[in-house]
Amino acid sequence: MLFLTLLLGLIILIGLFVMVVYNNLVRSRNETKNAWSQIDVQLKRRHDLIPNLVETVKGYMKHEADTLENVIKARQQAVNISDDVMQKAQAENMLSQTLKSLFAVTENYPDLKANQNFLELQEEITSTENKISFARQFYNDAVLNFNNRIQVFPNNVIAGTFNFNEASFFEIEAPAERQAPSVKF
């Protein structure tokens, strides 16, 4: 009788342990999904602002059609990517690069730089880019936490049993973005 009680107690303890680990893994996975949705919200905001920016700039920059077309093309590619984090990150990094080139070209147009609508849109996009950076950081922190939880023992046994897979980080793809900018006076 004592043996059966001890065995039943051990089974209950193991069951409780598995339940606690499983629930923690689910919470971490949901935090990662939430962090990704925060990035998605900011990316949608950026995607919505870009057509307005392009329309504002078009009238001033008749000679820069290629730059505008590249921005539009990069935006469309970014919008068309669904849930694949790596593909989305690549498309968004390309969009960031084309926006940077657009803002660099606008430096040659003093009338455009003085246009109130353009200035407001540029400020909105800059603000959105900052929010995207913060959301990426939050997402990568959530991914790190989740991946750590599913890789440590004994969580890895339970994670493998219930098919918890590692999440992908939102990383910079362009090697040029990893290098510090050079400042010359």
CATH of the domain at 146: 1.10.287
Q: Confidence class of residue 70 from pLDDT cuts 50, 70 and 90?
A: confident
DSSP 77-115: HHHH--S-HHHHHHHHHHHHHHHHHHHHHHTT-HHHHH-
Task: Specify the pLDDT at position 184.
Answer: 40
Please report whether residue 180 resides in a domain: no
Please report whether residue 4 resides in a domain: no
Please report whether residue 22 resides in a domain: yes
Please report whether residue 7 resides in a domain: no
Please report whether residue 182 resides in a domain: no
Q: How far apart are CA 8 and CA 17, in angstroms?
A: 14
Q: State the residue range of the domain holding 84.
A: 17-168
Q: Is the pLDDT of residue 175 over 60?
A: no
Instruction: State the total domains in the chain.
Output: 1
44-58, 73-87, 117-131, 150-164: which is most confident: 150-164
Please report whether residue 117 resides in a domain: yes
Q: Is the pLDDT of residue 1 over 70?
A: yes
Q: Confidence class of residue 168 from pLDDT cuts 50, 70 and 90?
A: confident
- Single out the residue of 181, 53, 51, 25 nearest to residue 119, CA to CA: 53
- pTM more than 0.75: no
Q: How far apart are CA 144 and CA 167, in angstroms?
A: 8
Please report whether residue 59 resides in a domain: yes
Please report whether residue 184 resides in a domain: no
